[in-house]
Chain A
Amino acid sequence: MPRERTVVGSGVYPYRKPARISPLAIGAWTVTSALGPGRGAQLEALRARRSGLRPNDFTDAPLETWIGRVSGLEESPLPDEFGLWDCRNNRLAWLALQQDGFLDAVADARSRYGPSRIALLLGTSTSSIGATEEAYRQLTPDARFPEHLRQPIIHTAHSLGQFVQHALGLTGFCATVTTACSSSAKVFAQAERTIRCGIADAAVVGGVDTLCGSVLFGFNSLELIAREPCRPFDIERHGISIGEAGGFALVECDGRGPWLLGYGESSDAFHMSSPHPEGLGARIAIQDALSRSGLLPTDIGYINLHGTASVRNDEVEARVIADLFPATTRASSTKGWTGHALGAAGFLESAISLLAIADELVPGNLNATVLDPVCGPQICIDNTALATPTVLSQSFGFGGSNSVVAFGAERRM
């Protein structure tokens, strides 16, 4: 078998192989999803193969589908000092920040680097639009927002970045990234550039996206929603289950690891809501992530796939994996556990990839019973042990935005 395969054909794109980067340490990290708050809850559910999906109990109007809902947010308003930013999305951000000692880790980093030297880079798709929807439901007779929903900041995407900036006491470079479902994967790339350019010494990266009516009914209008729990890569898959999640990581130059080894980003240039038929954008992003990491496909133990369970995504993605990776690489989508967390999916699945490394666990494809024949030997239904602690996490979004992130247990200089 050839050691290196050609990912990008000549003549499609003036392809330039990116240079290797210096790996960055993931100093602390946490994640919260429908599986529960914190890393322990994710790991336990992954091991027990217990899905976090439940029948839709979120929308006012009926919609037959399953959702990955985080419990308890309705009863957990933000502390008074953060009342300006109170909304479902920021409540989930706050809940996530409380887990796994993350606030202490940031406090420690703040004292080491100074609050202006830690960048804050967060991905979201719809941010706090749920608050805007609520305001439309409660319009005053003269068609104005009700008084308690008139703060401009909760009706714009940066609601997330600005809230977390205040919650963590960070004063430097802060961005909310909004490239749909690749948003919170791209923040790892942005963090690497920011640190390499000397704009910050460390970065807090993350993603938070919450359930909201416009997205559930919007995906329904595109006929992309499954009425059953989603079944990624199954021959009988019927679409996606929407979920919500939040998580954060501290990225630094030095530490014990795990390590951010590289990343790749690309555009499909094909269609707003359908993937490129040959997965061209995905292939470029994979190749760039491998090049920046100094890795070959044979080095990869596990790939957390985008795997939305939409007919088109899974077909194209399975073909790309079968083409590019050896049979020894394991690959799966974990959306059968969590649902598709959209703007938070990139981070959620990066965190599951880090869990795979930490606990030597390859999660399978929950809810799949018979794989689509287009799947290669890489895509597995059952959980297995991770053989090689080097992993990729793939995120592809509307607007043809693709991002692939590489992590490893070892620094690989």
Chain B
Amino acid sequence: MTAPSAPTAFVEGISFWAPRLPGWKAAVEVLAHGGDPALGALRRPATDLLPSAERRRAPDSVALAIEVAAAACTASGLDPAQLASVFATTHADLAITDYLCEVLVRTPMLTSPTKFHNSVHNAAAGYWCIATGCHAPYMTVSVFDRSFCVGLLEAFMQVAADQRPVLYVAYDIESCGPLAPVAVSRGLLGAALVLAPTRSDRSLLQLAWAVRPGTNREATPAQPDNAGLVEGNAMAPCLPLFEALARGTGLVTLALGLQSVLDVRVQKPVVSAA
């Protein structure tokens, strides 16, 4: 698969946020080598980047996505206003879904307009573009347990097809109310990458990727100790790739379709023969 001709994206920024691993700096050692994360857990990230009206209205899902998007862009040194983006989320804002369904049963005429407009799956992407003044397109995908992999492939394809850097953001939040047992997700988990089509001084790692027939049995599992840190969050399937990114090397297989997988080979950037 990852022959020299395999399409390759270059990682220029990485970020990660979970309550006990709040930031890539905090996460990288733990994900690479195990060990104890920082004591205590944060509830949700700050939202300093947002303009005041949007900051007042940002639900947890938006705060989380904006945090990891901004951190990845800062790490890359690229201007967020110039980046196309791909957002992946399994369930968008579960607290708002719970609210809308509940108010619909009791007092539908008293539905909150703010909560309703935050209920769209692309709310985080929309807030992000407002915050950064970005007119480049964004894509939002929601693919149940394949959300992380499908979003990553979409970002890889945009990098390859349009030859421009792309921001990839994946996130899910905690479920609540009667929805919780069927739309299962615990805690907050967000992760983001800035991916570029060519190697540069900013390149941290390179990702050679390929789609091939295969089943989800081939999917790379997360390290058991790490899995516990994000257990139950719907975006936990991102973990094996971020472990490989933390180590700086590895081959990660992610379940894509019913009978297809995405292979990603992580390695240090190599200077091409050309």
Contacts and interface: CB of A to CB of B under 8 A. Distances in A.
Interface in B155-212: 157-158, 160-162, 164, 178-179, 181-184, 211
A111 interface: no
Nearest to A161: B143
Contact of B213 (A116, A129, A190, A400): A116
B269 interface: no
A292 to B, nearest CB: 11
Contacts of A268: 129, 135
B8 interface: no
Nearest to A136: B101
A214 B126 contact: no
B120 interface: yes
A173 B151 CA distance: 11
Size class of the B contact interface (CB-based, 8 Å): 35 or more
Nearest to B116: A218
Interface residues of A, number: 77
A186 B154 CA distance: 12
Contact of B134 (A171, A186, A267, A397): A267
A125 B142 CA distance: 11
Given A125-B120, A155-B179, A218-B100, A177 B140 contact: yes
A176 interface: yes
Interface stretch (A44-52, A139-147, A232-240, A387-395): A139-147
B77 interface: no
B161 A12 contact: no
B258 A171 contact: yes
A178 B105 contact: no
A153 B146 CA distance: 12
Contacts of B147: 158
A273 B162 contact: no
A220 B129 contact: no
B100 A214 contact: yes
Contacts of B272: none
Contact of A132 (B97, B123, B181): B97
B241 to A, nearest CB: 18
B182 A193 contact: no
B220 interface: no
B104 A217 contact: yes
A136 B138 contact: no
Interface in B113-129: 113, 116-123, 125-127, 129
Nearest to B260: A172
Contacts of B121: 125, 157, 178-180
Contacts of B76: none
B21 interface: no
A193 B161 contact: yes
Specify the main secondary structure of chain A where it touches its partner: mixed
A102 to B, nearest CB: 20
Contacts of A223: 113
A399 interface: yes
A269 to B, nearest CB: 4
A152 B100 contact: no
A316 interface: no
B137 A156 contact: no
Interface string A157-183: 110011001000011111111111000
A249 to B, nearest CB: 19
A27 interface: no
A59 interface: yes
Interface stretch (A194-202, A305-313, A320-328): A194-202
The residue in B112, B122, B259 that gathers the most chain A C-beta atoms within 10 A of its C-beta is: B122
A116 B117 contact: no
Contacts of A217: 103-104, 108-109, 111
Interface in B252-267: 256-260
Contacts of A3: none
A265 B137 contact: yes
B105 A137 contact: yes
Contact of A193 (B120, B129, B150, B157): B157
A179 B138 CA distance: 8
A269 B92 contact: no
Contacts of B117: 218, 222, 272-273, 398
Contact of A156 (B125, B140, B144): B144
Contacts of B134: 267, 269
B42 interface: no
B111 A399 contact: no
Given A158-B146, A401-B140, 18 more contacts: A59-B108, A125-B120, A156-B142, A157-B121, A158-B147, A171-B259, A176-B141, A178-B92, A178-B122, A178-B140, A193-B162, A194-B157, A196-B161, A197-B157, A214-B101, A267-B134, A397-B120, A401-B125
Interface of A: 12-14, 16, 18, 59, 61, 63, 115-116, 125, 129, 132-133, 135-137, 139, 143-145, 150-153, 155-158, 161-162, 165, 170-180, 186, 190, 193-194, 196-197, 199, 213-214, 217-223, 265-273, 280-281, 284, 397-402
5 contacts: A116-B259, A174-B257, A176-B141, A269-B134, A273-B117
